[in-house]
Amino acid sequence: MKLSYRCPQCEQPHIGQQLADASSLNCECGWSRTIPADLMHDGRPTQCVVCGNADLWRQKNFPQGWGVLIVTIGAIISSIFYAYYQPLWAMGTLMIVALLDMGLYIWMPDVLVCYRCQSRHADVSTEGHPDFSHELFEKYRQEAIRQQQVERKD
């Protein structure tokens, strides 16, 4: 499994950390967390490695911005063809872009994201795992707001 997370203590990002034989997570600031021995079930984590939360959503590991970039480039090339009176090529370009976008989406692997701390668990099986739920996301968002208010009162 590859884990991407922000350290809960110092907020430093750790990107794509390989957890193959690791028994704990460690950050330079001194934060550490033991990885539970029974974490994996059928090749997928039963809880967030960073905060222990059991609610994770499945998401495509598609870098945000790629899709937009592909479509933008396609639109520019297509408009150049239009400018030179090549409507078939213009249409063709748009179709290729759409297929490329779709192909990338299908080909890209899934990651499991934690509702509470947004840690991303890649390189895991996501078979049968629930997709993103707005209700759950809202529940955790409210929880985070309440947490902040409590901290402010202290």
Chain residues in the site for Zn ion (CB under 5 A): 7, 9-10, 12, 27, 29, 31, 48, 50-51, 53, 114, 116-117, 119
Tell me which H or E stretch contains 137. Answer: helix 134-153
To Zn ion, the closest distance from the beta carbon of 42 in angstroms equals 20
Q: 120: helix, coil or strand?
A: strand
With respect to Zn ion, which residue has the nearer C-beta, 68 or 144? 144
To Zn ion, the closest distance from the beta carbon of 138 in angstroms equals 17
Q: 126: helix, coil or strand?
A: coil
Q: At what angle do helices 66-83 and 87-107 cross, to 10 degrees?
A: 170
CA distance 112 to 92: 36
With respect to Zn ion, which residue has the nearer C-beta, 56 or 97? 56
Q: 151: helix, coil or strand?
A: helix
To Zn ion, the closest distance from the beta carbon of 153 in angstroms equals 24
With respect to Zn ion, which residue has the nearer C-beta, 24 or 72? 24
With respect to Zn ion, which residue has the nearer C-beta, 8 or 92? 8
